Amino acid sequence: MIYNFSAGPAMLPASVLKKAQNELLDWQGLGISVMEISHRDPIYIQMTEEAEQDLRDLMAIPDNYSVLFMHGGGRAQFSSVPQNIAGPNATVDYLNTGVWSDIAIIEARKYVAEVNEVAKVVETPEGKAIPPINAWALSKNAAYLHYCPNETVDGIALHEVPEVGVPLVADMSSVILSEPIDVTKFGIIYAGAQKNIGPSGLSVVIIRNDLLETQQNRVCTVMNYKVQAEQHSMYNTPNTFAWYLAAEVFKWVKAQGGLPAMAELNAAKSSLLYECVDNSKFYRNTIAAQNRSRMNIPFQLVDSNLDNLFLQQAKAEGLLSLKGHRFVGGMRASMYNAMPLEGAHALVDFMTRFEKAHR
Ligand SMILES: *Cc1c(COP(=O)(O)O)cnc(C)c1O
């Protein structure tokens, strides 16, 4: 059995891949693949409409929000957001919780007058933590507040939604569909697809319709929210295959019991691993309990000389991609929706045996 702990592109549900394999040469009885027909064909458009409806059902997205399927993954949104809804004279607020926030801030600086960092991660006796909202240095007239609820590289998460009186923009690339959320608290939710939705390159954008009207700038047309909303994300040719796979993943999540079922599974998997790390003097995790991610769990071997052996033996047992991000080192286990509970059990079982053999 192979369990793939890759942070992204990440594991997809096996049943989705099998269905795609079956349909590869003959989609919907057409005798050709989904990649080989026009995106304007009614049969393709019907698939995209079902995909949107399934996502709306899963996340309870209200009618006053548009759902866009765009190009360029997560990072394209780092520039799309400030260009579309702020502009050259605006001030915008960013919470800095780690690597992805940092990159989003650098990108936003190109398009607005001022990017104000409201707070960043601090060291506390309990570990790295996000300062409480009442300690954030919010600006008076921000066009929006941007944050990353789950920092994929750092394994740091903000589990409360900050309500600050300006449109809230969230990079949910590594946490979308992992638990129920209240979409009405957000102005824009966006996500690169390759963690919990499907293949890389696709991004899903959920935007409150009034924000489509804020545009004051010249925005590259494929990245223009208003144009893409009006054109049902088909201003130009979309990534038709990625959209099809995303549609299949949405159906899979629905069949699993939707987001409440995903939340339960993700809580169970992450608790298993954190318990293993916390009950050991051999492994450690340096994030304060209240800010621990349930998706991406970094951990270090106290003796880093054993890192390579750990990775080698894990791989030999079918536990793949546990090496931490090159920025932080150590290990990282990413366990998105597609990772079954058995995967977390297999990892913890291996870690326990490895510790016994080497402590
Ligand atoms: C993976 C990731 C991105 C980057 O996505 P790309 O599709 O590579 O641009 C951005 N933000 C977060 C939080 C991510 O996890």
Per-residue pLDDT reduced to its tens digit, 200-221: 999 999 999 999 998 767 899 9
Catalytic site includes residue 171? yes
Q: Which numbered atom of ligand 1 lies nearest the CA of 75? A: 9
- Out of 2.102.10.10, 3.90.1150.10, 3.40.50.300, 3.30.70.420, select the CATH number for domain 258-358: 3.90.1150.10
pLDDT of residue 216: 67
Beta carbon of 100 within 6 Å of any ligand 1 atom: yes
Contacts of 172 (CB under 8 A, 6+ apart): 149, 150, 189, 190, 191
pLDDT of residue 30: 97
pLDDT of residue 215: 73
pLDDT of residue 217: 72
Structural class in CATH, domain 14-256: alpha beta
CA distance 81 to 115: 13
Phi, psi at 314, each rounded to 5° = -60, -45
Give the residue, by CA position, lying nearest to ligand 1 atom 14: 173
Buried b (16+ CB within 10 A) or exposed e, 2-21: ebbbbbbebbbbeebeeebe
Phi, psi at 54, each rounded to 5° = -60, -40
Per-residue pLDDT reduced to its tens digit, 46-103: 999 999 999 999 999 999 999 999 999 999 999 999 999 998 999 999 999 999 999 9
CB-CB contact of 277 with 344 (8 Å): no
pLDDT of residue 230: 96
pLDDT of residue 214: 84
CA distance 230 to 221: 12
Residues of the chain with pLDDT under 70: 216
CA distance 254 to 249: 9
Q: What is the pTM of this model?
A: 0.98
Beta carbon of 217 within 6 Å of any ligand 1 atom: no
CA dihedral sign of residues 191, 155, 326, 122 = positive
Cα–ligand 1 centroid distance for 8 (angstroms):
8
pLDDT of residue 137: 98
What are the domain boundaries of the chain?
Answer: 14-256, 258-358
CA distance 129 to 131: 6
Q: Point out the catalytic residue in the list 128, 136, 195, 243.
A: 195
